[in-house]
Amino acid sequence: MAAGAAAAALGREGGEDAFRRLFRLYRQRDAADLRGVLDFSAPGGQVFRSQLSVSSVSDQDACRAGLQPVSRWKAYGLKGYPGFIFIQNPFLPGCQHHWVKQCLKLYTQKPNVCNLDLHMAPEKTADLWGQSKEKLRMKGSGKCEPRSLLEKLRWVTLGYHYNWDTKKYSANHHTPFPSDLAFLSEQVAAACGFRGFQAQAGILNYYHFDSSLGIHVDESELDHSRPLLSFSFGQSSIFLLGGLKREEAPTAMFMHSGDIMVMSGFSRLLYHAVPRVLPNPEGTPLPSCLDQALCSDLPVDSVIEHTSDDDWQVCAKYLRSSRINMTIRQVLAEGQKFPEEAGTDTESQAPSEDSHHQNSRAKRHKPNIDS
């Protein structure tokens, strides 16, 4: 049975854990028939145009964040998923370079937390970019070459650092949230009708062609009335959006470089997953949107910085086989505080390395930590 037909049959089948059955189907390396996957570049069927709050974001502020005027965004909703908004690459030419560079060069620095901290000495993870850039720049296409530290990176947490083991945030495990990423998130949230959104926590996921993201619900934030924002860069992926129960079969859709997803309202607490990362459908090593030069008329107070040719050479080599996803959350409502927790400290917040991010080439690793 072709993959598209198989997906449709599994969706109709329902029953116990229909989500996992579809996850496994799309996870297969030989699942070449992806006709059952929604592509928002050619929307139809259950897809409809979503109305945005154009007046909530000035063209100047959108440009400062490296975004087109909101009136030009192509935003879509899905029937049966109220509160879900898909925005097809609204970034100005060349501006994705900034966010890729930040995710690889700046956001990986201390005091932010990453999976490599769990089994490496602090001095070894202090400058992942510096220790990896030459190896990445010179790296060939051989699969047997040892991976640089950046290629071993699976996740980074920002702001309130998520504890993967307890699935909680806490007041005493917090570092400053990046101001440029906060500004970008605030503009996107406002355009989707959420003025006053505060970017308080970020989880950055780093995928390769053998990576996936397991089936889960993002429910650890104390305020579920605020949206979850998801930004993707690099290679494409299949994203599965399900229901409130895993017995409900999910809808599969493509996410390409520059695409943004917003999950709010009913869709805020739905099961979702990424079963597979796919090569750029254009057939080139990188999507064409990543080959564009930075637009020359950004305002002087833009949060977007020019990415040097040397830095982009490293980023581009990394992205030839990788995808980066930034998910941004507001953890607390206005004036809300964390409940008192006895005996919590920073060290007890250490997560397991792969409790959220999966890799088909290695068994899930649980470090020997006292948590």
**How many residues are recorded in the chain?**
371
Asked whether residue 216 is marked as a ligand-binding residue, the answer is yes
Q: Does a structural domain hold residue 40?
A: no
Q: Does a structural domain hold residue 135?
A: yes
Identify the domain containing residue 205 by its residue range. 53-329
Confidence of residue 28 (pLDDT cuts 50, 70, 90): confident
pLDDT at 359 over 80: no
The count of domains in the chain is: 1
Q: In this predicted model, what pLDDT tens digit does every residue of 86-127 receive, in sequence order? A: 999 999 999 999 999 999 999 999 999 999 998 899 889 999
Confidence of residue 367 (pLDDT cuts 50, 70, 90): very low
What's the token pair of residue 147?
A: 């991976």
Q: In which residue are the tokens 């020359």 written?
A: 296
Task: Give the integer Cα–Cα distance in Å for 26 and 28.
Answer: 5
Q: Does a structural domain hold residue 271?
A: yes
Q: What is the CA radius of gyration of the chain?
A: 20
pLDDT at 364 over 50: no
Q: Does a structural domain hold residue 369?
A: no
Asked whether residue 310 is marked as a ligand-binding residue, the answer is no
Confidence of residue 142 (pLDDT cuts 50, 70, 90): low
CB 153 within 8 A of CB 115: yes
Q: Does a structural domain hold residue 181?
A: yes
Q: Does a structural domain hold residue 33?
A: no
Task: Give the integer Cα–Cα distance in Å for 59 and 299.
Answer: 11
CATH code of the domain covering residue 270: 2.60.120.590
Q: In this predicted model, what pLDDT tens digit does every residue of 256-273 receive, in sequence order? A: 999 999 999 999 999 999
CB 246 within 8 A of CB 291: no
Task: Give the integer Cα–Cα distance in Å for 305 and 298.
Answer: 10
pTM over 0.85: yes
Q: Does a structural domain hold residue 126?
A: yes
Asked whether residue 365 is marked as a ligand-binding residue, the answer is no
**Cis before 111? omega within 30:** yes
- Using alpha carbons, select from 105, 103, 73 the residue that is nearest to residue 90: 73
pLDDT at 12 over 70: no
Q: Does a structural domain hold residue 355?
A: no
- Using alpha carbons, select from 285, 278, 276 the residue that is nearest to residue 320: 285
